[in-house]
Amino acid sequence: MFLSVFDVFKIGIGPSSSHTMGPMTAANRFLDLILSPDWPRPAGASVAALKVSLHGSLAHTGIGHGSGRAVILGLMGERPDAIDPDRMDDLIAGVESSGLVTPQGHPAYAFQPKTDLVYDKKQPLPGHANGMSFSALDRDGRLLLKRIYYSIGGGFVVTDTELAALRAEKARPADIKVPYPFASARQMLEMAQRSGLTIAQMKRANEEVTMSRDVLDAGLDRIWAAMKGCIDRGLSGQGILPGGLKVRRRAAAIHDRLEHDWRSNRANPLLANDWLSVYAMAVNEENAAGGRVVTAPTNGAAGVIPATIRYYLHFHEDADDAGIRDYLLTAAAVGGIIKFNASISGAEVGCQGEVGSASAMAAAGLAAVMGGTPEQVENAAEIALEHHLGMTCDPVAGLVQVPCIERNALGAVKAVTAASLALKGDGSHFVPLDACIETMRQTGVDMHDKYKETSMGGLAVNVVEC
């Protein structure tokens, strides 16, 4: 099993990797398909109009997550890693006024968002909670092409046939041959013991099968630069977050107070936790505002890993760029195992799969750069994940704001605590990480759909009722 660090960490826009980046990517894929020869195009037929329907969790919380906006932007040819957030409103307004999408390299296609973009809450698609249907029609309204896509978490998008193949992946050999093809934490530890390498070193060796060391390091540095930029923007952001809840940004004010206390040498026994929390909140406030973020492993959980890296740089004198790269490689190794054996999608397993996974990844990365053995790193990840088991995904009004912003802060605090506990032991512990991951998967299967990013239960209901 091989999942690249750049599949785990992807630069995109907020507020949701599955509900924003996923639909935009699906739209990009459908545009590419229209131009390709990979479908039976009738003689003389040409695409003149497009229609899209969103299903399941995308239908229930798509408006709050900006899914419809993402579809429009994707059909304009905009891509998550390249779009300028400052242009988005103008692009969408242009489509709404003209009734046309005009992606580069394509003719103009008729697309009226009010009628051609449907939030279908009654008809879920069978493959996944985040389903989308894209259709292309000729000028007489005849259907020429239709594809179903699923946004399976972390910005990953697959067709229905690709999803079936993905679920059968455990039964077939991996396409990329890597020297350390661990698909479980147990295999990872066995390979580390036999090779004498750290988890980061094994992950690096796997990555360097497809790219040079310089390319890998430049990519890792680019990921951290995007994370750091997101923190910095969040620490200076002011005002009310969009969406109607009137949630006020708090990170900037908290940061200013912490800076004042730091300069005045005022004693603060909660100092480390306060810095961790403000860094995580800064990222997720920026995400909620639709800014540029990095999936880590999702947008809804994007604050945990950057916060713990910033904590590492802030409080550890030996922190350096090489340590950040090892942190990201280690975190990606754990994230890949979780995704392969369970899920990182809130719509599939609840927030245990988002903030819980992020906290486990962060704990592993931090334990690694603080000198932990592979066994201690695995223990750190298990501690962090175990204490997120059962966490629901219940965003109020379908917005990635309440409880998501504060939940990232607490996920970062748990990650640091888990790493500290693991480093004080010898790596031996009662619950293996693999057992914890399987428990998360089973809990997600048993969890009622109203607690899985539909805003039909939990805080999403009770806050409104109160």
Q: What is the CATH number of the domain that holds 92?
A: 3.30.1330.90
Would you say residue 333 has pLDDT above 60? yes
pLDDT at position 103 is 98
pLDDT at position 173 is 45
pLDDT at position 465 is 53
Whether 320 is covered by a domain: the verdict is yes
- 205 and 347 belong to one structural domain: yes
Would you say residue 170 has pLDDT above 60? no
Whether 33 is covered by a domain: the verdict is yes
Would you say residue 243 has pLDDT above 90? yes
Can the peptide bond before residue 15 be classed as cis, meaning omega within 30 degrees of 0? yes
- 139 and 97 belong to one structural domain: yes
Strands 49-56 and 117-120 turn out to be: parallel
Domain's final residue, options 121, 143, 167: 167
- 194 and 260 belong to one structural domain: yes
Whether 392 is covered by a domain: the verdict is yes
Cα 458 to Cα 390: distance, rounded to the nearest angstrom: 13
Residue indicated by tokens 């008729």:
110
Cα 453 to Cα 363: distance, rounded to the nearest angstrom: 25
Domain's final residue, options 146, 167, 188: 167
Say if residue 56 is exposed, middle or buried (CB neighbours under 10 Å; 0-12, 13-18, 19+).
buried
Instruction: Tell me the average pLDDT of the chain.
Output: 95
Whether 10 is covered by a domain: the verdict is no
- 189 and 149 belong to one structural domain: no
CA end-to-end span of the chain: 47
Which amino acid is present at 323? Answer: G
Domain's final residue, options 134, 167, 200: 167
Whether 439 is covered by a domain: the verdict is yes
Would you say residue 291 has pLDDT above 50? yes
Assign 294 to helix, strand or coil: strand
Say if residue 245 is exposed, middle or buried (CB neighbours under 10 Å; 0-12, 13-18, 19+).
middle
Cα 303 to Cα 281: distance, rounded to the nearest angstrom: 7
- For residue 386, how far is the Cα from the chain centroid? 20
Would you state the torsion angle of the CA atoms of residues 275, 277, 278, 283, taken in this order, to the nearest 10 degrees?
Answer: 130
pLDDT at position 463 is 87
Whether 348 is covered by a domain: the verdict is yes
- 188 and 138 belong to one structural domain: no
Backbone angles phi, psi at 291, to 5 degrees: -80, -175
Would you say residue 464 has pLDDT above 70? no
Q: CB atoms < 10 A from the CB of 173, how many?
A: 8
Query: What is the tens place of the pLDDT at every residue in 398-407?
Result: 999 999 999 9
Q: Six-digit token pair at 283?
A: 């990222």
Query: What is the tens place of the pLDDT at every residue in 77-104?
Result: 999 999 998 899 999 999 999 999 999 9
* Residue 435 region by backbone torsions, left for phi larger than 0, else alpha for psi between -120 and 50, else beta: alpha
What's the mean pLDDT in 203-216? 98
pLDDT at position 274 is 95
- 150 and 192 belong to one structural domain: no
- What single-letter DSSP state applies at residue 18? I
Whether 11 is covered by a domain: the verdict is no
- 205 and 293 belong to one structural domain: yes
Which amino acid is present at 273? Answer: N
Whether 3 is covered by a domain: the verdict is no
Are 299 and 400 in contact by the 8 Å Cβ rule? The answer is: yes
- 145 and 103 belong to one structural domain: yes
- 105 and 124 belong to one structural domain: yes
Question: If pLDDT is split at 50, 70 and 90, which confidence band does 165 have?
Answer: confident
Are 337 and 437 in contact by the 8 Å Cβ rule? The answer is: yes
Would you say residue 260 has pLDDT above 80? yes
Point out which residues pair with 49 in neighbouring strands. 110, 137
Are 291 and 12 in contact by the 8 Å Cβ rule? The answer is: no
Query: What is the tens place of the pLDDT at every residue in 16-65?
Result: 999 999 999 999 999 999 999 999 999 989 999 999 999 999 999 999 99
- 257 and 401 belong to one structural domain: yes
Backbone angles phi, psi at 12, to 5 degrees: -160, -150
Q: State pTM to two decimals.
A: 0.92
- 454 and 336 belong to one structural domain: yes
Assign 240 to helix, strand or coil: strand
Return the percentage of the chain with pLDDT > 90, whole number.
91
Beta strand extents in 57-137 (DSSP E only): 100-101, 109-110, 117-120, 130-137
Are 50 and 72 in contact by the 8 Å Cβ rule? The answer is: no
- For residue 60, the enclosing domain spans 17-167
Return the percentage of the chain with pLDDT > 70, whole number.
98
Q: CB atoms < 10 A from the CB of 387, how many?
A: 18
Would you say residue 174 has pLDDT above 60? no
Q: Name the domain count of the chain.
A: 2
Q: Residue 452 maps to which CATH number? A: 1.10.4100
Would you say residue 466 has pLDDT above 70? no
pLDDT at position 171 is 45
The angle, 0 to 180 degrees and rounded to 10, between the axes of the packed helices 251-263 and 213-236 is 90
pLDDT at position 175 is 62
- 82 and 230 belong to one structural domain: no
